[in-house]
Amino acid sequence: MLDSSFFHRWMSGMASAVKEAADRLTELDSAIGDADHGSNLRRGFAAVATVLEKEPPSTPGGVLSLAGRQLISTVGGASGPLYGTLLRRTGKALGEAQEVSVAELAQALRAGVDAVAKLGGAAAGDKTMLDALLPAVAVLEERSSSGVPSPAEVFAAARDAAESGALATVPLQARKGRASYLGARSVGHQDPGATSAALLLRTLAGVDG
């Protein structure tokens, strides 16, 4: 079972991961956007780590909801409201439970990802963060309901799915967000948001215990 400390470590791990990857994310966004994705997420997740340290919530749902609210209030770009919605909606779906199973997290993330799709109007193949999130959630749902693999195995499989999904955005033409303004010129570049979404799953798979 996963407790609030696990979720806290996931979010503070994401703050470190995004800090490290900020230059690469911004570089990707400079090719097909406005070169701010790395700085947007670095600022947002640093604020998340700070607020979680200051007022640590006692439930997994509380951690993700607070993180989501913080992202929405600190990140101006498209990714702030989208990641904020992902985490808030996932947190809401986890409810008040003190601990949650991997299957419950999978189900909650499905609600979160659906909310992102609804907010942004994007679908699979539009060259957005959803192209990493959707395959990862599908793997989480599938693996957590079949047999009894360890959380580590399930999260590693979801990480791989997210990373393949992010790589698979390279040949796509963007249909949503700033990159869509480029039309066919968006082809041949990896989507920054799909790349950061894969980082979110990589960080989840790297949380100890």
| Contact footprint for ligand ADP (CB under 6 A) | 29, 33-34, 36-37, 40, 77-79, 82, 120-122, 128-130, 176-178, 191-194
By CB under 5 A, tell whether 36 contacts Mg ion: yes
Q: Is the dihedral of CA 72, 93, 119, 173 positive or negative?
A: positive
Which one, of 18, 4, 40, 65, lies nearest residue 203 by Cα? 18
* Contact partner, 191, from Mg ion, ligand ADP, none, Cβ < 5-8 Å per class: ligand ADP
> In sequence order, what DSSP letters do the residues of the chain get, joined into one string?
-EEHHHHHHHHHHHHHHHHHHHHHHHHHHHHHS-S-HHHHHHHHHHHHHHHHHHS--SSHHHHHHHHHHHHHHH--STHHHHHHHHHHHHHHHHTT-SEE-HHHHHHHHHHHHHHHHHHH---TTSSSTHHHHHHHHHHHHHHHHSS---HHHHHHHHHHHHHHHHHTTTTPPP-SSGGGGGGGGGTTS--HHHHHHHHHHHHHHHS--
By a kind-dependent CB cut-off of 5 to 8 A, residue 130 interacts, out of Mg ion, ligand ADP, none, with ligand ADP
Residue 38 or residue 62: which is nearer to ligand ADP going by CB? Answer: 38
Smallest gap from Cβ 208 to ligand ADP, in A, equals 29
Our finding on whether 27 is near Mg ion (CB under 5 A) is: no
Structure tokens at 126: 């539009």
Nearer to ligand ADP, 40 or 107 (CB): 40
Size of the site for Mg ion (CB under 5 A): 5
Q: Between 63 and 82, name the residue whose CB sits nearer to ligand ADP.
A: 82
Residue 120's binding partner, choosing from ligand ADP, Mg ion, none, with beta-carbon cut-off 5 to 8 A by kind? Answer: ligand ADP
Task: Considering the complex, state which of residue 29 and residue 104 has its C-beta at the smaller distance from Mg ion.
Answer: 29
**Residue whose tokens read 């957005």:** 128
Report in angstroms how near the CB of residue 18 gets to ligand ADP at its nearest: 11
Q: Which residue is nearest to ligand ADP (CB)?
A: 193
Q: Which is nearer to Mg ion, 33 or 151 (CB)?
A: 33
**191 touches Mg ion (CB under 5 A):** no
Binding site for Mg ion (CB under 5 A): 29, 33-34, 36-37
